[in-house]
Every structure is written in structure tokens, then in C-alpha cells.
Structure 1
Amino acid sequence: MKIRAIDDLPLRALRTLGARRGWLLSAPDSLRVGFGRCVARIELPSGVNDVASARRELDAWSGDLPDHAPVAVTAFASLPFDRSAPGVLEIPEFVIVADSSGTWLMSESEDESWRAHLEDLDDADQEVQLATEMIYRPSGESYAHSVAVAVERLRRKEVSKVVLARSVSGATSAPIDPASLAQRLRVREPNCTIYALPLPDGRRYVGASPELLVRRLGTSALCHPLAGTIALPPHVDPQDYHAWLLGSSKNLHEHALLADEVVATLADHYDQVEADPTPSIVTLRTVAHLGTWIRATGAPEESAPHGLELLTWLHPTAAVGGLPRAEAYRTIRELEPLDRGHYAGPVGWVDARGDAEWWIGIRGVLVDGPRFEAWAGAGIVPESDPTSEREETRDKLASVLSSVVVDRI
């Protein structure tokens, strides 16, 4: 791979290209886009349960760029929620990285052939469409019943927390343009990371994730777990709702379970782990969450955790799974009627140095021509009310689907 700085980059066209037929991760402060052919596929046959062979394959690319290079060979991935399900990392022919260090192009050649991919792109201006079909699994009534069953188990202390999800699938009158969907999400959720990634089954997963699972840079790691939610009605001052959320014992308890889990996991591998003393508010377009920044440092440089190893240890957190992990996962399998697939799995990138940025794949839509599928979940604790949790998933689904279809749910 060769690397060089580039100027005058057409960012909108680049985002369109990545979202429509490449790999796109667009954060508020950085951009990573892959395009062209896939030059390498690194398999994870046992999912994130065993990343050793994938790490060795990725390490083999470390000599392709000098040690002092500002970026390293990068692989993109959207991985399944099930930590044992097979996954794949993909290294594109061209990768552009734009962050505080500058704008860089990685490619196999030094010519200008990459620019041809940006030519003759249709604008990402498709409007939202009418839904011709909409199916909810489970129904609102069935979901509330599952929550009630989970609450009983929680009160018997069989599990401390569990996240239960539901889906909506359907179709529109014309094929959905992933680039237009990504652009709408970027405008509506400026505080989120926009992702648009190919899946092995040919679909694309496009979403706006508010939740950083982990960012690994050298010998440090940063996490920003979110748990505890309140809906924000339109045209209101969110401050009153923020105050309610910060004073809600149920939401604070749910959030503390998650933050404590992440701190404990990182403490097993880093000398120093610091978390914000109290959660802060993360405000999105239609909901607000409690979030805590957690920083880990002090690992020796030669043995600093790799970006793939951090996935093994952290995924799935209690934000999308529950506690204890095994008991919560068993409850999910028993009470959720469908396989989550890539919903709530890690989305992001990892490079040949072991640096990585993984977000939780939520608030997204799986797109295949005119067909779509979206998911939303709610964290269930002993104090949970089934009706309220059903409405929380409804609000989350409505927020995502408003970028796809005209119909509100």
C-alpha cells in the first residue's frame, strides 16, 4: 500500500460513494471511506470469540506502510450481535482518512485512478418514500408480554439486566438509495457516527450510532457507554427532560450496571481506568440518553490490547445484551422470536497497528433494493414497566424509519 496527502477532496461525493457502494464511517470529527474492490477478506470463523488468526492476518499488512506513517492499512467490518457468529473484515482497494492529522489516501498504486470512482455519481437526494408493507416482530402486545416475563426473572434475580429488541421490516415503492439515507441521517443526527457497510448477504447496513463501544489508539482506550433513555417530543425545551432523566432512579440504575461492567472489563487489561463521576446527557433528535466517558491507560506498549481483542472482551456490553452476560443472552434467545443478525453488533474499523474504532450498530436500517429492516431495543431492569419499554422501542423505531419512509409508526 502507498500513502499520500491529498487536497481539495470532494467530501460530499466521497460520502455518497462510500455509502452507496463502498465502506463509510463518518464521525463528527473524522471520516473513513473505502472504495474500489476488496483486496483482502479476513475471516472470523468463530466471531469475536477467537480473533487470534484474524489478528495475525492483519498484522501481516503492517509492513506495507512505514512505522511513521500517519495511518495504517485499514479493514472495515459490520459484525453480528452473536459473538460466536462468523464475521469478516474487509480491506478496500482505496481508503481515505480525514481527521485532525490531515487527509490521507491509501492505495496500491500511486496514480490517480481513484478519482474515476468519484465521477458520474448520482446525487444523494432521493426523498423518503411511501411504505408498501410494514411488519412488526413481535407485535407491540407480544413485546410488552416478553418484557413482563423478563421483569419477573429480574425480580427473582435470575438476571440483573437484559435488553429485549423488536424489529420492523417492509418495502417501499422504489429501491432505497443507501447514500441518500446516510445523508439524511447525517443531517438529522449530527452528534452520531454515520455508518454504511456491506454485509455478506448482499444487503447494506446504514445507520447513525450514538454509542462508541471502544476507540483504541496506541496504549489507551476510550469507551462511551449509553443506557437510560427518555423520549424528546418535538418543539420542546429538552432541559426539563434532561433533568428528569438525571433524577430517574430506574435509568440511573440501568446506566450504572453498564458503566460498572465496562470499567471492570477494562481494569483487567489496563493499569489505570477512569470514569466520569456522574453520567452526562447525550441528546439526539428524538431521544436523550445517559452516557459516561471511560478512559483506560497504562498498558505496556509491547502488550497493549489490540483493537480486535477489545471486541472479544467488551462485546456485547450490557447496553445491548445484559448482565450477567451468559444469563442475559440465554434470556434474549428465549424471549426474542428472531435472530438479531447484525443489529447491535460492532461496526467500525481496525488497522494493522491494532488501532481501532468500534461503534455499536444500532439506529440503523438494513437495505436491500426496496426492502428494509430496522431494530430497536430497551434495557429491562426490575423497575421496568412493560408499556413504557414498548413505547421506548416504538420511539426509537420511529426515529430511524422517518429517514426511510413517510409512514410514522
Structure 2
Amino acid sequence: MPSDPPTAPAPPLDDSAAQLIIEEQRGRPSYRTLLQLAHQGWDARAASRDADESLAWFDEATPENDPGRARAQQAAEQASATLTDLNLQAAAHARRMIRALNVPRPHVDPLVRRLLQTAEHEITLRPLRAAQRRPAPGDAVSARPTAPTLTVEEAHIVQLQRQEQNAVAAAFLRPRERDSHLGTTADPDTTTLLEAEQDRHRHALLAARYILTGPESLARHHAQLASDAEDTYQTISRAINRARLHNREGLMFQDGDRWTARLPDHDDPDQARPAPFAFHLDLRWATGGLALQVEPGSAAHLERTTGIRVGQGWASLARWIHDEHARQQESGGGSGRRAPLDQLIWRENDGHLRLRTGLDREYPGLIAALEALRVTLRPA
């Protein structure tokens, strides 16, 4: 009895096709969950490195029976277990996303790896919650303030202000100080809206296909399903619009980010104040997601409030945050050549804080932007 012919192997996965699949997944609600897991994994890797370094110190500097060494060993093992668990969760979630596409089995693992790499790469480039927001509108209100009267130069900033500007700059980069919630899975209404959009499109295509090829009963069936999905889409869309308008009432900058800076104690500059201070700045990804941008309305509000003329300093601040974050990530958590977080703008030299070389040339107006934020600091 003749045996069944062997199944033909799946054709190799074209790189451009793989990229299209990944880009499609980035637009799905479930990708938000993958981003959140990747972000938690990033923090867990940092915690694991810290625990390993602490344990290495105990291994070198303390007796084997030292109680601190046992605690360090336990902390390192727990951090490693947490990291492993998060990596497994992220891999399982990515695999579920890819398998839902019904791609050939040989292509599943390469696509899973690529999806995980995309999420991890996105996390390293997006330290801000604003990364998950809509792009800033191109025709937003002008950033020109009503009547800015103050200009800020390096010579105007005294030692105390320089310390506090360093704290403001560090607020954008400290993992424990930034708002690290990148967004979770979409709320039920949004999920239903997206599913209804997909359903109405799919059933409309199937209805058109069966009208041409038959049977007619299937065409009517899918046409009815497309109509039902359209009704669901319109109903949920109206509900979301009503909720958005309701939530915007009385909130000038509802999408603004709240940042936390720990100011140095004036009596002991090496210590952080117990009470943190907060400021607001609406920072978004510009169209295309390749550069950060201070929302023009937020910039104008800050200039009106403080009276400080910043101008191009807002663009310099956004560019500096993006560049400095990349430098911090490239250092891999080691000392390397990265600037200390408490001396990002002004570095200590002979007991004085001096502006880092070339900073004012590469980022014109950066000092004015930081000063405008500094004077708005309030107890958190």
C-alpha cells in the first residue's frame, strides 16, 4: 500500500515578510502586555546585576559564615529566579501571539525571537510612558509664550540651583523615579473596538468572496456578521468618545507626565531630602517615533508660568533626554564613561559645579529649560 507523500517543507521566511508580521503585532493590544513584561524584565536584570555584585563583594571581603553573605546569596537567587520567570512569561506571551497567526510551524520560533527582540529594543529606546501615547499633533498650539521676560545663562545659575538642575535632569533617567508604567493590555472597550474592526473587515471580505463563488447562504451569513460587527464598532466608538470628552473636562494637560526629583539637602548636599519634589512636563514621541518632543502647549504654559524664555531649549531638552538615555543604556549598567546621575549637567570640579564641556554648544537653551522646570518644583 503506497504511503502518503511527504509534506512539502515550508518555504523560507522572507525578511521583509517577517518584518511586516512584527509590525502588525506591534499594533495589537496584546503587544502592550509584551512591552510591560519586557520592561519588568529589564528592571529585573538590573536588580539581578546589583544582587550579583553585592554577593561578589561578600565573597571577597567577608568570612563564609557571615550572616550578611547568606542574605546576599538569598537575594541573588531570588533576583535570578524573578528574572527567569519574567523571561519565560514574555516568551510564552510572544509565542501565543505568533501562533494565533497560524504561520507554518518552522517559522514560529524565528518570529517569536524577533518579536521579543523588538519589544526589548523598544524598551531600551523608550524610557517614558509617553512612548505609548499618540504622536504629538503637527499643528499644535504655538510654543511662543505670551510675554517671556527672563533669559537664563550659565553665569546666572548659582551653586544651589546647579545642584537642583542636576536633580531635575536625573528625574528623567532614574528607573525608580520615572513613571515606568508603559501601559497594560487595553481596556475592555478598546479591545472590543479593535476586535469589531477586525471582524467587520474579515466578514465583509468573506461575504464578497462567497457572493462570487457561492454558496449564497454563506455569503448572507458573513454579510450579517459584518453588519453586526459594524453596529458593535459604532456603539463602542461612541462610548469611548463620550468617556474621553468627560475625562478631559477641567484638565488642561491631562496627558502630562509627572516627574519626581529628589533635591539635595542644603546642609548636606550628598544626602537626598526625605520628601521628593515633583514637576510636570508633557513629553511625547514625535511623528515616526524616532525623536522626543516637548508638547508645545506644555512648553508655552511653563514659559508663561515662570516668565523664562526657553525657545529652542525645549527641543534641546528632548534631544538630550533621548541621547543621554541611550548613553546610559549603552554603558550596560556599568561605570564606563557615563556621567554620574547626580552630575548629568553640572559636574563637580575643585569643589564647584561647572557645566559639562560642550553641553551648551550641543544642546543650546538646555539650561533655560531645566531652570524653568526647577522653579516649578513642588513637594510631591
Q: Highest Rg: 1 or 2?
A: 2
TM norm. shorter chain > 0.5 = no
Which structure exhibits the higher relative contact order, with contacts defined as CA atoms closer than 8 Å and separated by 6 or more residues? 1
Task: State the TM-score, normalizing by the size of structure 1.
Answer: 0.22
Q: Which has the higher strand share?
A: 1
